[in-house]
Amino acid sequence: MDKPDNNQQILLAEDDKDDVLLFEIAIESLPFAVLLTVAEDGERLMALLESIFPDIIFLDIHMPCKSGRECIQEIRANPRFDSIPVIMYTSFKFEEYIDETYRNGANFYMIKPNNIEALAKKIKILLEMDWKNYMYYPPKELYVIA
C-alpha cells in the first residue's frame, strides 16, 4: 500500500466529545498529514457534505438528530457520494447493525478501539487503501474491523 496523498480529509461524524478527542490524538500520531472535520450529529454531517468532499467518512451509528444508520442510506442514495468510502465507527457489535450497514453500502464496520495506538493503526490502514482506484466492498466476513 502506498502512503496516502498529503492532507487527506477525514470527515468524522461523532457526537461524543471524548471519542472525538481520542480520534484527534490518533490522527496526530500518523506519519502523514490529515485534515479532520467533525460533525456532531447526522444532520450536520449531511449539511457539511454540501460544501466539502472528504476522502473518507467515519460515521458513528448513534448520534442525535439523524443516526449513522440513516446517514449511510442517504449518502449511498446520492450518486455524487459514490466515490467516498464510509466507515461505520461504533462501540456496538450488534449483528443487526452490521447486516443493515453492510446492505446499505458502508465499506467497513469498525469497532472503536479502547486505546489510541490501536485506533491510529486502524485509521492508518484505512487511509493507506487505494480508494481512488478501487472502492473496497469486502465480503461480509471481512467487513467488521474489530
* Per-residue pLDDT at 138: 85
Q: What is the mean pLDDT of residues 92-97?
A: 91
Q: Which amino acid is residue 32, in one-letter code?
A: F
Q: Work out the angle between the directed axes of helices 68-77 and 95-103 (0-180°, nearest 10).
A: 10
Q: Where are the domains of the chain?
A: 8-145
Which range, of 47-56, 75-84, 115-124, 128-137, averages the lowest pLDDT? 128-137
- Give dist(CA 78, CA 92) in Å, integer: 26
10 Å Cβ neighbour count for 107?
23
Using a cut of 0.75, tell me whether the model's pTM lies above it. Answer: yes
3-state SS string over the chain?
CCCCCCCEEEEEECCCHHHHHHHHHHHHCCCCCEEEEEECCHHHHHHHCCCCCCCEEEEECCCCCCCHHHHHHHHHHCHHHCCCCEEEEECCCCHHHHHHHHHCCCCEEEECCCCHHHHHHHHHHHHHCCCCCCCCCCCHHHCEEC
* Per-residue pLDDT at 6: 59
The phi and psi torsions of 35 (rounded to 5 degrees) equal: -95, 125
pLDDT above 70: residue 84: yes
Q: What is the mean pLDDT of residues 86-93?
A: 94
3.30.70.420, 3.40.50.300, 3.90.1010.10, 3.40.50.2300: CATH of 8-145: 3.40.50.2300
* Per-residue pLDDT at 1: 35
